[in-house]
Structure 1
């Protein structure tokens, strides 16, 4: 497979065209109920015993407040991940492993170790996509790259950003563990990501997420080895560009 950046990176830099396996372009859009059913199927990949029942468990406002409180408690976050991407027919089109590191406000480091080595850093002002295979770095304005994109809520805390999204808490059926799951939907249409679903474990840590995009591809990430208190290296969100690399600065 040609080197590919996962759909998670596509969600972070939604205006940036990435090499990837696309689902059929003329597929009709899902209804709201179909979105919940699709997420239900995807969540089964998150934990063997995890499933969505697709019902609202709380009012919209209280669901937003609950999610905001859960994320606000996560000042910093680091975890390994396993990622699976399926198309509209539930065919697996991509798998990856790596490490995700985040801090508030607005900083993220995404590094894959399998099947290819890729690096994406959002430093609060710019998004740096480092492609070691072609020795190129693409730089985008972070503000424009994640505008109207629900992934921004992972590290954003301001009310203006949160007001751009509707949030619903979903009922979750699990064995012997209390999980909470929230579906985030942009209020404005036209973005690449239609829904983002975040699942938290009994400790309040982010355990998994999945995203449904406009091509009806679903990216599911399951996190392991979660850390929320650790010494953050000074260069975690810095990019050291080798002299031999081409820099495509689109800011």
Structure 2
């Protein structure tokens, strides 16, 4: 059960982060006057034209046991383009060219293609899209820790706990940059996504968001419904 939870939740985090890290907020990174945790999060999640980072992702059981470690890197650019590459313990690519999402599993010689539209309705996607005011209609939002050195921790809890996918979501910021995303289900199992060396507006290589299925791969067309 833990493995199923890890696979589903970490894939959601990876996918939505790739789609949503850069959004339509001011590209100069300006932080405007805040009014409580909802406005603070809106300002902290202001976007840029593009971004890249290394990542580590793993799961924690309710007993604190760590499992399913993986690591890699991602590159994202507005609108809705990204390349998310898991390098260890196995290779996987998730690429969005803006029209389609391509999921490539080299070990299986398999590629899945699905539409890129309609993928931003989950809580993690709304968070990373900066849709905090809309999110506040479904979650209570509190700043539970923070200090003058630029570290801040926010916690979201569903207003309708019985029908919620997540029992708790936590966001950690350092120097106004998101560094950790933690999601906990009703059984106390947590998925963690940790970002390293996050860089905004980097120079990106040409064709980084293009994907051509390797010769000999099985291509599965997922309608995304």
Tell me the equivalent position of 2:9: 7
Tell me the equivalent position of 1:121: 95
User: In the aligned structure 2, how far is the partner of 1:237 from the partner of 1:222?
Assistant: 23
1:225 to 1:89, Cα distance in 2 relative to 1, 3 A: same
Decide whether the 8 Å contact of 1:105 with 1:156 is kept in 2. no
- Is residue 181 of structure 1 aligned with residue 183 of structure 2? no
- Cα deviation for residue 214 of structure 1 reads 5.3
Unaligned runs of 5+ residues in structure 2 are 17-34
User: In the aligned structure 2, how far is the partner of 1:154 from the partner of 1:88?
Assistant: 24
- Is residue 249 of structure 1 aligned with residue 221 of structure 2? yes
User: In the aligned structure 2, how far is the partner of 1:171 from the partner of 1:96?
Assistant: 28
- Cα deviation for residue 129 of structure 1 reads 1.6
Which of 143, 149, 153 does residue 126 from structure 2 map onto?
153
Moved more, 154-163 or 113-122: 154-163
1:107 to 1:95, Cα distance in 2 relative to 1, 3 A: same
Show the 5 A alignment for 1:47-196.
62-147=36-121, 149-153=122-126, 156=129, 162=135, 165-166=138-139, 168-172=141-145, 177-184=149-156, 192-196=165-169
The TM-score, its normalising length taken from structure 2, stands at 0.71
C-alpha offsets along residues 223-250 of structure 1, whole Å, 9 cap, x if unaligned? 2222113112332322221131111111
1:104 to 1:90, Cα distance in 2 relative to 1, 3 A: same
User: In the aligned structure 1, how far is the partner of 2:140 from the partner of 2:11?
Assistant: 22
User: In the aligned structure 1, how far is the partner of 2:132 from the partner of 2:12?
Assistant: 24
User: In the aligned structure 2, how far is the partner of 1:191 from the partner of 1:249?
Assistant: 30
- Is residue 198 of structure 1 aligned with residue 171 of structure 2? yes
Tell me the equivalent position of 1:236: 208
C-alpha offsets along residues 153-201 of structure 1, whole Å, 9 cap, x if unaligned? 3553568965764351322267x83212223456677564444322111
- Cα deviation for residue 120 of structure 1 reads 1.4
1:88 to 1:134, Cα distance in 2 relative to 1, 3 A: same
Unaligned runs of 5+ residues in structure 1 are 15-60
1:150 to 1:119, Cα distance in 2 relative to 1, 3 A: same
1:75 to 1:96, Cα distance in 2 relative to 1, 3 A: same
User: In the aligned structure 2, how far is the partner of 1:128 from the partner of 1:208?
Assistant: 25
C-alpha offsets along residues 15-50 of structure 1, whole Å, 9 cap, x if unaligned? xxxxxxxxxxxxxxxxxxxxxxxxxxxxxxxxxxxx
Which of 208, 211, 228 does residue 180 from structure 2 map onto?
208
